[in-house]
Amino acid sequence: MGMMLDQAARLSVAPMMDWTDRACRGFHRLLSRRALLYTEMVTAPAVIHGDRARLLDYDAAEHPLALQLGGSEPAQLAEAARIGAGWGYDEINLNVGCPSDRVQSGCFGAVLMTRPDLVAECVAAMIAASPVEVTVKCRIGVDEQIPDEVLPAFLSRMRDAGVRRITIHARKAWLQGLSPRENREIPPLDYPLVHRMKAAFPDLHLSVNGGIASLAGVRAHLEAMDGVMVGRAAYHQPWDILGQADRLWDETPPFSDPVEAAAAMRPRIAAHLAQGGRLHQVTRHMLGLFHGRPGARGWRRQLSEGASRATDTASALAVYDAALAEVMAPA
């Protein structure tokens, strides 16, 4: 599986809270057969004590699929990794990059960049407990840390602990004074530093993340890196990033245009509705499918206004068909 995941990780879609749920991943997988997908972050205690079916269930079509865990207690993370691997995930990823307030209180996410020995202990315990690969997502540093110093030292610690695939968000996290959203936008990107890490650690599989907004941008980074992780651009402009992504593996993408993809989603949406799901749960992840294309505004309006009002399967499908009509109308 290692080689297959190395290949899949040429392009991955970042774990994003409230966004990369099952419905979102099913849609992304329809657009790209090859990209590596990640769950939303789940905390280790939630995996151990929570409703596992609700937290961990996925559709078999979502593979290759990684589970991202949050936590900082080695025994807990090891148990959560063991459970996740048993659930069939292809990879277990430790979050050392998320700057959210929710996360600092529990001591996980980016604050762990200040405690590399603890992270090393965590990943070593996870590796010992998990039959599938354990990976790390980190920042280039936090607060007053000097990235040129802390990042290579951190990567070296991870390598010594047995990790061989790491995704680096090319920004610092400021743990005080910036919101999680600001932490994705305000700290400056340092791509050259991340590219230098690949030269310094040729034996590691390294992906770059942060601010990459086009497939051309992905290709440019792949000149220097093993992989690229895209977050918000993949979510807001799924066709632009994922619709043609399979060309990165020299494969023909599943659809030639986003209208085909939208039509292919219809039976999936009907199945979701038949199981008692709501239209909005799927279509909220699809609002950007026609980004920058004719009919995009009408598509978005029909779905955002109609999806929550639809009360039964027939009215929900009628809303979806009205949205489709907006993008199929002759320009």
Catalytically annotated residues: 98
Q: Give the SS3 label for residue 115.
A: coil
Show Cβ contacts of residue 308 under 8 Å, excluding neighbours closer than 6 positions: 280
CA angle 228, 222, 200 (to 5 degrees): 90
Helix intervals (H) in the chain: 2-8, 22-31, 44-49, 52-56, 74-86, 101-105, 116-129, 147-161, 180-183, 191-200, 215-222, 232-236, 238, 258-274, 279-283, 296-306, 313-328
Q: Is the peptide bond before 64 cis (omega within 30 degrees of 0)?
A: yes
> CB burial class (10 A; 0-12, 13-18, 19+) of residue 281?
middle
At 198, is the secondary structure helix, strand, or coil? helix
Q: What is the dihedral angle through the alpha carbons of 140, 158, 207, 176, rounded to the nearest 10 degrees? A: -30
Structural contact between residues 237 and 245, judged by C-beta atoms closer than 8 angstroms = no
Secondary-structure breakdown of the chain: helix, strand, coil percentages, each rounded to the nearest 5: 50, 15, 35
Tokens at residue 152, please? 């290579």
